[in-house]
Structure 1
């Protein structure tokens, strides 16, 4: 399905190679050269940590690895990021970015806006990164207007590159320039494929998890996004049920592990 509900969200192998060295009397040796994992991989990103939102505890007790996308400058920003890190989860800065539509108050503090100067955009991005400990990357909160703006996205991605981070396009804009520009800068073009909770019920999330499984099996991997918040417990319950049905067929990984495997991304983080 791809990120079929992105716009709505913005408003709320190895191969075994037999080798026998020439002139060597030893028996032939089997050398295993890993090309790709045998099982498909799923990276579950959970957005909107950082404000003590409903479903936070339930997400942290899921039986698989998740990636915690934490909003900056909120009441539990640092606590949630540290808790995720202690669980062995990847942390992303869930950076508020200007949408085409939606209420400004939904953005939260520290938002990146298209009317800002280059210096102001850079200052906002760096401040958010400094405020969320252990972050290995950024993904956008809302942001359909910013992710379509080459000037602003160029600054966001430049900061990512300078710090050894990657950007995950939440895909709230089907005309996003983030992936193309990431490639041009030598960054991995990571994007969300499926929103889990565009409809707020555990049953819908379970249905979306089946789509995640299908996409992972057909394309080797799938990145999917859910949320804590008003319906966070329902989303967590749907994810938990989906995991139970999928655990024998896919591997659940952190987003950094997926990025390293899929795009051969190996960088040294420059942390504040």
Structure 2
């Protein structure tokens, strides 16, 4: 989210406890994230990461040629730009999520706040979850993409696959985009899930379900605003 205020507003107004992922530095990111938080939505940074097709990442992009310092500073500034951020998932990333060193640098930064990580799993060879585990960053992995084809028929098929996966495994994570066809579908079908015995949960809520309600972050006070946004310099 962050580009389209119309579809963004529609998603924010949905009653279900969705987790909304925002691209950094986009025109409507901050205003929509503020409103989403006020309506009880969970907020993630949708971190742009290098892909195998070499599509443009836009501002805040993480690239394999960046060294550890550049990676850390770019990620940190992107996190600062998203109010109430609680986690991160990758935007694209089919190239970068295969690079263990780069993912280790990212996880080293995330564990300090702390923040969770959701692997969008844009390529089967991703090592993001392995890196997160090694650095003790709470992490989950996408099960179903809802809308990489933007037709109602495709979204319907993927949504039904998401429900089937949740019934089979107990929980499932779906990722969709703020396309009109997706929002139209969710507005209609999310309210029908209760009668099907399906609950919608935030990422942190789903993590708790998978871990017997254990806290995601133990003995660490998490920030309620964007990390480092109010940190003073010079040790003052």
- Output the TM-score relative to the length of structure 2: 0.88
Gapped regions of structure 2 (runs ≥ 5): 229-236
- 1:210 and 2:163 are equivalent in the alignment: no
Q: If you compute each CA radius of gyration, which structure gives the higher value, 1 or 2?
A: 1
Q: What SS is found at the alignment partner of 1:139?
A: strand
In the TM superposition, residue 265 of structure 1 has moved relative to its aligned partner by: 4.0
1:136–1:166 CA contact under 8 A, matched in 2 = yes
- How do residues 159-238 of structure 1 correspond to structure 2 at under 5 angstroms? 159-228=109-178, 232-238=179-185
CA distance in 1, matches of 2:47, 2:53: 17
CA–CA distance in structure 2, aligned partners of residues 201 and 102 of structure 1: 25
Map 1:81-96 to 2 at 5 A: 81-96=33-48
1:58 alignment partner in structure 2: 10
Find the aligned partners of 2:157 and 2:174 in 1 and give their Cα distance: 13
Look up the match of 1:241.
188
Question: Would you tell me which structure has more strand in proportion to its own residues?
Answer: 1
TM-fit CA distance, 1:69: 0.2
For 1:1-150, list aligned pairs within 5 A.
49-52=1-4, 55-104=7-56, 107-150=57-100
Structure of higher RCO (CA pairs closer than 8 Å, 6+ residues apart): 1
Q: Is this contact kept in 1: 2:13–2:39, CA < 8 A?
A: no
Do structure 1's residue 269 and structure 2's residue 222 form an aligned pair? yes
Number of equivalent positions:
219
Counterpart Cα distance in 2 of 1:102 and 1:152: 17
Distance, in Å, in 1 between the alignment partners of 2:157 and 2:12 is 21
Q: CA deviation at 1:54?
A: 5.2
Describe the SS at the equivalent of 1:163. coil
TM-score where L is the length of structure 1:
0.77
Q: Which runs of 5+ in 1 are unaligned?
A: 1-48
Over 6 Å off, 4+ runs: none
Q: Distance in 1 between matches of 2:23 and 2:222?
A: 20
User: Given that residues 160 and 166 in structure 1 are in contact (C-alpha distance below 8 angstroms), is that contact kept between their aligned partners in structure 2?
Assistant: yes
